[in-house]
Structure 1
Amino acid sequence: MMVAYKKPHPQPQSSWSDLPLDIVGLVLSLLPEYADRAVFAAVCPHWRAAARQQLVPPPLPLLALPDGTFYSILYPRLYSFPGCGFAGYESVCGSWLVFPRDDGCFLVNPFSRATVTLPALSCVRLRPPNAVAKWSLEDGSKVADPYITWMHINTSEKLHISKLIPCSPNLVAALVGIGHTSQILLCQPGASSWSVRAYDQCKGFEDMAFYQGKLYAIANDENLLVVNISQDHSTGDPQVSRIGQIIKGEPWYPVVLEDNTMPCKKLYLVESHGALLMVRRAIWCRVPGPGVPGEVIAGVSRFEVFKADFEHSWWVKVSTMGDDQVLFLGRRCSRAMSVSQYGLSGDYIFFLDDDEENRTDYCYDKENTSFSAYDMRSSSVLPACPSIFWKCCDEMRLAAWLFPEDR
């Protein structure tokens, strides 16, 4: 007797695109590196659409080096943007690379390929328009009177942008100056000129931040300043209407101690958990003894973090940033990020040796440097990554954090 055999129906083959959207989003949220997310989105159209739609925490920043190379920092590896060459950038702001040129300043987003055009530094609208530099004679020498203004520095060949912030689609702010002296300039993307208050005193601005819809700046005296912005009635362009003091700092300045050490400081402004923080970095330097020739050599760094108390107009020292917060500090761009979702420990500060040659009072005893991490809990610096390094004080083109955008 013959038994009929019924061939089973073939099971449908599973596909990556069949993975439920919530599972896809969970996988994506666990990827801390931009490079991994880019590979994720390339798997299939379904995953690429999910990568655009899912609300996921931002990826960790890339490290942009002076030679135009980019590195992931969690798993140190060289990162490239296919088809793009960005070796000529001179600064970084958020997701943008900055290319100053004689005919304008160009911002390029290497992730989205978007571009923004800003005016050249030679095109500045003065307020008042007839402003001139004022001088006086002291001991036969010409000095700025009564203090240094934009009119005293605007023709220098060393004039450059030390900080650039795209505050909104209609507002860009910049710290522009020479050495320790700079001024705040504003413009609208695509405009023909910057705007500056010509007779305002130039200051030793350390940093600037756009926080809760307002522009803030801090100088080496640790005073927090708010920059009030209005519109030019004739052109509609943004302009500084007033710079007012919000918090009076209690600064300290370099003093040589008995053991021939001297703390030099750098200040940063960064937003974290809705608060505006001032981070004070003390760089402990070795100083030659009395009558001994030599240079001031930079040593270990220590950090103190302060929160702006706007109600009482003072800085409040904080001992921790929280177990999920990490600060990425740099002269060009700083940012706080939550990292607990990536299984990483918080309460760390990642920082760069990114001093411009004409803004430092010390030298380095080594030719190369790298990024380092400061543990807030133990007040100690962790060793730098040996596979990522660059030359110290590479003038006008510094290492910087580059923060990817997922959208």
Structure 2
Amino acid sequence: MDDDKLALAVAHVAFPDGELFTFPDLEPHGGADTDGYLAACDDWLLFADHEYDVLHLTSPLTGETVLLPGLIDGVRVSDNPVVIANEPAPSGTAPRRWKHGEDMAVLKLVVCQGGLVAAIVGREHFAKVALCNILEGEFVWSISAGDRWRSYDDMAFHDGRLYALTQDADLLAFDVGYDDDDAGDEEPVVTRVERVVAGPALEDECDDGEDARMHYLVASLGGALLMVRRDMPDARTTDGFVVFEADLAASRWVRVDRLDAGGEALFVGRLCSRAVRTPHDGDHIFFLDDADGLSFRSEDQPRPPYQVAAYDMARRTFSTLMRRKKPWEDGGTPMTWLFPDDGDVVTK
């Protein structure tokens, strides 16, 4: 692909079997290998090196690589005190401690400012927030024993703060501090978790409580933090999308029918989402077939006929952009969006 055509790419679509396509033309991106990635953020893909118990954060668009700690020997459980505000005690039984081993996976990865990397680590229904710093401190993930195990849908770094969205549509804000370890290095830790928006009020917006729902957390170009709810009667079918804005002052979700004025589109995916300014596709939501690995998807269910599709919020209509080209087996890692480097990623 020539450089001029590549420069026009708004995003890229990556498949865990190694294929990478530009968007919106959906042409193959030559010379990049995405085979076996575990997570994604911006233009980065996460790979595991099990021999050395390290993770590789690699950009298939630039070839740059950053090392991160692994999940076996690279995890430290911190006993620092954690304040939990405005969040009721959970029901049910959660793991009492971090379980070492390959059954713990990186479910979501966010590269923040100042070299801070945050991850949701665990299993689908029980996970914790892990932190590390690729510029300072020890080569280790820090997980706070005083924080709770939760079931998360998404996480985002927005306006200088880390936010996470639970499966119950609660919006949590995380404060991060630094503890000195025995070697004198500063280790990032969660110091406070506050539920800034409660999710149950969303039940009034849902026609059928039996439907499956997926939630995506996206920072709008206008400065608001958005939750995009994808209503799915089953893993094959998407009925529609509903967008909510976090009103942090009133601690509530507010439904919005239009995106930021001036032509804003949302690209949503379980691993990576972004708001993009576009003169032609404002009020569109671009989405993927990304239900792989979720409990509500069974292997015998037929897959949707698309791999990339769009939803027009104004007309409430769908468009298929990339039809399914080949048979596809369910796996633990879904396809994902990648976005060209915007200059804000900090590397070592």
Residue 227 of structure 2 aligns to a residue whose secondary structure is: strand
1:385 aligns with 2:332: no
SS of alignment partner, residue 156 of structure 2: strand
Task: From 307, 311, 317, give the equivalent of 1:374.
Answer: 311
* 8 A contact 1:187–1:194 mirrored in 2: yes
State the superposition RMSD in angstroms: 2.9
Q: Which runs of 5+ in 1 are unaligned?
A: 1-34, 42-50, 52-57, 130-143, 286-296
Q: Is the 8 A contact 2:38 2:47 kept in 1?
A: yes
Note closer, same or farther for the CA distance 1:306–1:201 as it changes in structure 2 (3 Å cut). same
Are residues 358 and 350 of structure 1, via their aligned partners in 2, closer, same or farther at CA, if it must alter by over 3 Å? closer
Query: Do structure 1's residue 305 and structure 2's residue 243 form an aligned pair?
Result: yes
Q: Report the Cα distance in structure 1 between the residues aligned to 2:14 and 2:297, rounded to whole angstroms.
A: 25
Q: Which residue of 1 aligns with 2:107?
A: 162
Q: Deviations over 1:219-248 (max 9, x none)?
A: 012111100100012321211011111111
Q: Using the TM superposition, give the Cα deviation of residue 368 of structure 1 relative to its aligned residue in structure 2, in angstroms.
A: 6.5
Residues 312, 372 of structure 1: CA spacing in aligned structure 2 closer, same or farther, 3 A cutoff?
A: same
Distance 1:145 1:264 in 2: 21
**C-alpha contact 2:11 2:24 (8 A) present in aligned 1:** no
Q: Counterpart in 2 of 1:141?
A: none
Give the equivalent residue in structure 1 for 2:346.
none
Aligned positions of 1:6-405 closer than 5 A:
38-39=3-4, 59-81=9-31, 85-102=33-50, 103-122=53-72, 123-128=74-79, 147-149=93-95, 151=97, 154-155=99-100, 157-189=102-134, 191-234=138-181, 235-249=185-199, 250-252=201-203, 262-272=210-220, 273-285=222-234, 298-321=236-259, 322=261, 324-340=263-279, 344-361=280-297, 364-366=301-303, 369-386=306-323, 391=328, 393-395=330-332, 397-405=333-341
Percent identity for Structure 1 against Structure 2 = 31
Question: Structure 2: where are the runs of 5+ without partners?
Answer: 81-89, 344-348
Q: C-alpha separation between the residues in 2 aligned to 1:323 and 1:329?
A: 19
Q: Distance in 2 between matches of 1:91 and 1:169?
A: 20
Alpha carbons of structure 1 residues 86 and 317: separation in structure 2 relative to 1, 3 Å: closer
Bigger CA radius of gyration: 1
Deviation at residue 40 of structure 1 after TM alignment? 7.2
Alpha-carbon shift at residue 64 of structure 1 (Å): 0.4
Q: TM-score, normalised by structure 1?
A: 0.72
Residues 293 and 334 in structure 2, CA contact (< 8 A), matched pair in contact too: no
CA apart distance, 1:157: 3.6
* Aligned mates of 2:304, 2:246 — CA distance in 1: 37
Q: Relative to total residues, which structure has the larger helix share, 1 or 2?
A: 1
Whether the 8 Å contact between 1:370 and 1:389 is mirrored in structure 2 is: no
Contact 2:179–2:189 (CA under 8 A) maintained in structure 1:
yes
- State the alpha-carbon separation in 1 of the partners of residues 92 and 317 from structure 2: 44
Q: How many residues align?
A: 321
Q: Distance in 1 between matches of 2:327 and 2:150?
A: 30
| Distance across 2 between alignment mates of 1:358 and 1:113 | 30
1:295-314 C-alpha deviation (Å, 9 max, x unpaired)? xx632331110111111111
Q: Which amino acid aligns with 1:210?
A: F
- Aligned partner of 1:391: which letter? W
CA distance in structure 1 between the partners assigned to 2:277 and 2:207 by the alignment: 38
Shift of 1:355: 1.9
8 Å contact from structure 2 (residues 306, 324) kept in 1: no
CA contact (8 A) 1:66 1:390 kept: no
The 4+ residue runs of structure 1 with deviation greater than 4 A are 387-390
In the TM superposition, residue 282 of structure 1 has moved relative to its aligned partner by: 0.8
| Kept in 2: contact 1:104–1:120 (CA 8 A) | yes
2-structure distance, mates of 1:394, 1:196: 27
Shift of 1:118: 0.7
Deviation at 1:362, TM superposition (A): 5.3
